[in-house]
Structure 1
Amino acid sequence: MANHTVKRESHGNHWMGLIAFILLLAGGAFSALWLITLADLPANKPMNITYGVLALGGLVASTMIFATLVRELRHSPVMPDNTRAEISRYLAKVRP
């Protein structure tokens, strides 16, 4: 039985890319809600602050996840890299 492990190999979509994309969508939705509550600012000040913090948190978290995945995987975490060079590298590294 072969006993070799390959570290940090990803071919196709990474599951953290999906979480980052959902956080990006949630950050956009909360930023829209934050903008809507600006119209009624004196009455909805706690909700305005809550939506602003959630929007900023979602956008910053998704940016950090995407940047980490791009740095570690060396290709986009959302779009798979299905070029001939990637296929040959996969066959050479993972399936020797």
Structure 2
Amino acid sequence: MALHMPHHESHGNHPMSVVGYLLVLSGFTAAALWLVFMAGGHVVPAILFGILMIAAFTSAVSIFVSLIHRNHHSPVLPDNTPQELDRYMLRYRR
């Protein structure tokens, strides 16, 4: 006997979108720390956080570009299929 579970529509966001978002947040944090350490004259931590900032932003951009071009998936809108986009726009953007 198969249990009938209610249909749950996916929110449509790719899991890597969350990773990209967290990388953007960590990039801004590293940028703030880079600026503070650079202004304070601490060279080694400034270089370290500068490198972390560049790595975080570069990784986030590569994830978003990969989602857009390779997977044809928007990292922002849940547009997996035209039907899901229509349901999303009807349900949340009315």
Give the distance between the partners of 1:79 and 1:28, measured in 2 at CA: 23
How many residue pairs match? The answer is 75
Q: TM-score scaled to structure 2, two decimals?
A: 0.71
SS of the aligned residue for 2:70 comes to helix
Partner of 1:47 in structure 2? 45
Partner of 1:65 in structure 2? 63
Structure 2, unaligned stretches of length 5 or more? 1-10, 85-94
Q: TM-score scaled to structure 1, two decimals?
A: 0.69
Partner of 1:17 in structure 2? 17
Give the distance between the partners of 2:43 and 2:21, measured in 1 at CA: 28
Partner of 2:87 in structure 1? none
Structure 1, unaligned stretches of length 5 or more? 1-10, 89-96
Residues 24 and 58, structure 1, Cα contact 8 Å, conserved in 2: yes
1:29-69 Cα deviation digits (max 9, x unpaired): 1001101111112xx11100110000010000000000000
- Equivalent in 62, 72, 75 of residue 73 of structure 2: 75
Greater length-normalized contact order (CA 8 Å, ≥ 6 residues apart): 1
- Corresponding letter in the other structure for 1:19: V
Give the distance between the partners of 1:59 and 1:49, measured in 2 at CA: 15
- Corresponding letter in the other structure for 1:51: F
RMSD across aligned positions (CA): 2.2
Q: Percent identity?
A: 35
